Every structure is written in structure tokens, then in C-alpha cells.
Chain A
Amino acid sequence: MRAEQILQRWIAVLLLCGGLGPVGWLHQAGAQTVTVEAMLIHASDRPAALDARMDRVEYRLRRIFQFEHYGLLNITQSAMTLPSQTRLDIGHGYVLQLDASQRDGRVRAQVDWYQGNTRLMSTSVQQRRNVPAILGGPPHDGGTLILVLEFR
């Protein structure tokens, strides 16, 4: 009787593992964790303090734009499990809402950039990891805002 109970428990454990295995595999196949980084930059012709955290992107911005100075306002990072939505407070009253998923080896994200209740920009992008997208244009403090958005 006791041996029968042990056997029943073993069978239950095996069935449980057999059931959870494919679920875990499916979960791994469909879900991926990425780190999203939003770098808020104030571009203007007024001198701004140099910030080594912008080294990766500043020289690229200088190739694209004609602003004299680029000042780092804030860097925000967050981990996302795709697909999911998240809200990032990127500082200075600006907020990003991200709805991201995985598609064909890229991150497909709808990006809504808010200042208060005003939606400054809404876009849908498909990005490779480690390839930033440059968003920008809203005026800010005598200059222009640039948002470098990157998934890693």
C-alpha cells in the first residue's frame, strides 16, 4: 500500500514535469528580456557640460545635426520582458510609454513621448538591438530635445 502511494506520487511528479516542460520551452521561445535605454539630450548653441556617458552617441549626433552643444539631461534604463508595456519617466517632466514585442529578430516598439498630457510624438519602430533610434524635435529651454532610444 505504501509502495503504491510512492508510485502514484512519482507519476504525478513526472506528469507535472512533462506538462511544464513545453510551457517553459514556449516561454523561452517567445519571451525575451531586453534593456531599454532612453537618453534625453538637450541640443542647443549654448555651452553645455561634457558628459562621458554621451561619448557613444555624441559624435554621431554631431554628424547628423548642426547644434553646437549637446547636454545630457537624463539617462533612464529599464528591463522589459517582450512582449510587454512599460512607462519610463525620462526626467524634466517627460514620459515615454513603450509597447514592445519581438518580431523577426527585431524589437518592434510603439513609442509615445509625452510632456504632461501632451503627446509630443508617437511612432512605431522596428529596431535591432544595440542600434539606437534618434527621436527629437520638441523645443526645450532655448534648444531642442533629442531622445536616443536603444534596446540591448
Chain B
Amino acid sequence: MKRERAAYWLSQALDGELSPRRLRRLEKLLTEDPALADLQEQWLAIGQSCRAQSVEPPQTPEAAWQNVQRAIRLSQDEVAEPTPTAVVGGLWRWGLSVAAVLLLFAGTWWGLRPTGEPWATVPVAERTQVEWVESDLPDAISMVYEDEDTGLTVIWVMMDDVQEDNGYAG
């Protein structure tokens, strides 16, 4: 009975579940009972053997995914291994990329460049000449204006009652 209790305590001690007080008593029993000490050694050996042959716990999905990512990364690194051909190809790609960007900028600049033509003023010698202007509208006032900014000639008839709203900038 005492041996059975001691074996139970030994099992608890190996599992780390024995209280300090009982652990002290077990240590005393181990020194007094060689058979109990042998049992302890056997159980320790079995434990070590089991740990040595233990199977790894099943892989979690997160760990499996990390492994997949690692494998992909490693395979890409292998593909990107800089060989002389790859370096030359890389330079070509860089060159083409830079050329494409420059072309894009050039195209944008060309499209948005200030050509001068949109704001070109019509030269004085080419401006429209107005000989006369009249209107049959009652109370209409005719006027001719040469806009200096654009060089265009404006021929305008203004109703007497809408002169305030004509929007004319001149």
C-alpha cells in the first residue's frame, strides 16, 4: 500500500504535480527504497524514450500558409537569381521604362504646351475692316470694336433696353 502510494506520488512528481511537502517525503522514500528508485529510473527512461519518438503536433492552417508563402518567396528568389543575362535584361527593362516615362511626359508637355496660337493676336494688317453697320431693330445702337487682346473685330448691335445686360467686356 505504501509502495502504491509512493508510485502514485512518483508519477505525480514526474508530471510536476506533486506538492513540495510530498515531494520532500518522496525524495526521502527514494533514498530509503531502492526498488522505488529503480522505478523512477525506469519511468524517466520511458519518458525520455517517448519524447525522443514523439510525433510533431499537427500543423495549424496559419503555419501551413506561412510555409506556402515561404516556399513562394524562396522560389521567386531563385528565379530572380541575378545571372548576367538577367542583369542585361533588367537594364533593358529599366531603359524601356525610363523611355516610356519620358515619352509620357513629352506627350503631355506637347499636348499642353503653350503654343502661342491659342492666344495669338491677329496682326493689325490682317484684322477685319468694317465699312459700315446698321440695324433695322428699333432703338438699336450699332458699334464696332476691335479687341486688342485677340485682334478680332466685334460688330455689335445693342438694344436700347438691354444695354445693361449685354455682357460686353469692352
Contacts and interface: CB of A to CB of B under 8 A. Distances in A.
Interface of A: 43, 45, 59-60, 63-67, 106, 118-128, 131-139, 144
A125 B130 contact: yes
A59 B118 CA distance: 8
Interface of B: 118-119, 122, 126-137, 140, 142, 147, 149-150, 152-159, 162, 165-170
Given A131-B126, A133-B128, A134-B154, A120 B167 contact: no
Contacts, number: 104
Contact of A135 (B122, B150, B155, B167): B155
B156 A63 contact: no
Contacts of B119: 59
A45 B165 CA distance: 10
Nearest to A115: B137
Contacts of B157: 120-121, 136-138
Contacts of A126: 128-129, 131
A134 B134 contact: no
A78 B94 CA distance: 54
Given A137-B156, A144-B166, A120 B133 contact: no
Contact of A133 (B142, B152, B170): B152
Contacts of A128: 126-128
Given A64-B152, A120-B136, 8 more contacts: A65-B169, A121-B142, A121-B155, A122-B134, A124-B130, A133-B155, A136-B154, A137-B140
B155 A132 contact: no
Contacts of A121: 133-135, 142, 155, 157
Contact of B136 (A118, A137, A139): A118
B166 A131 contact: no
Nearest to A142: B165
B133 A122 contact: yes
Contacts of B166: 137, 144
Contacts of A123: 130-134, 155
Nearest to B150: A60
Contacts of A63: 147, 149-150, 169
A72 B167 CA distance: 17
A120 B134 CA distance: 8
A120 B132 CA distance: 14
Nearest to B126: A128
Contacts of A43: 167
Contacts of A125: 128-131, 153, 155
